A = this chain, B = another copy of it.
């Protein structure tokens, strides 16, 4: 995909740096390319649901993060990205020491981007899909939204 902002990498990094929640979760971003972002999560006790697996809320939060930052690679300088809606399907329980996440822009538009993501882990060489998501991200013009860190 062709970025719309020649400083897209700096812009996304700037946004990531201001995002407190991904830091608290421990999601590390591994690669950032136009239209695609990947990350990794080392499983910790705080991520557990009631059976000791990866909590679905951690999964959906990570889906939102990699999709949202993938969308940020495809906007103009100072445009904002907001999640309009997101659906997550949980394919398999998340039972692993480490999880991998990939988010990408399926179709970049003027008003919104359609994004997708997957969370998986490795069992030997086999890739086990924990969840897949589809998201509508709104692209908002600079100046329309007012927030603490804009």
- Chain A interfacial positions (CB closer than 8 Å to B): 15-16, 18-25, 45-53, 55-58, 60-62, 64-65, 68, 80, 82-93, 106-107, 111-112, 114, 129, 132, 134, 136, 138, 145, 147-150
Contacts of A46 in B (CB 8 A): 20-21, 23-24
Contact of A60 among B49, B64, B82, B112 (CB under 8 A): B64
| Given known A-B contacts A21-B57, A46-B21, A84-B89, A149 and B51 have beta carbons under 8 A apart | yes
Contact of A86 among B51, B56, B65, B83 (CB under 8 A): B56
| Given known A-B contacts A91-B106, A134-B89, A57 and B61 have beta carbons under 8 A apart | yes
B50 contacts A57, C-beta separation under 8 Å = no
